Amino acid sequence: MAIEDAGYLAALMSAANGDIASAFSRFQRDRVTRTSRVQLESRALWDLYHAEDPIVCDVRRK
């Protein structure tokens, strides 16, 4: 996500016409939604990614 963040922040800085504080405020407001969604999705998939049950592992691979 760091590369994604850098690209998005660069676009905001470019569009801000020198108002860096405004660009960072918008970045923080917009990115908290995205990063929260990624965290929730990761938690939801935890059991699947770390399953030890052979059947679940087989399903995961397909």
What does the pLDDT profile of the chain (62 residues) look like in tens digits? Answer: 889 999 999 999 999 998 999 999 999 999 998 889 999 998 888 877 777 778 777 777 77
Q: Is the pTM of this model over 0.75?
A: no
Q: Are 8 and 24 in contact (CB under 8 A)?
A: no
Q: Are 12 and 27 in contact (CB under 8 A)?
A: yes
Measured in residues, the chain has a length of 62
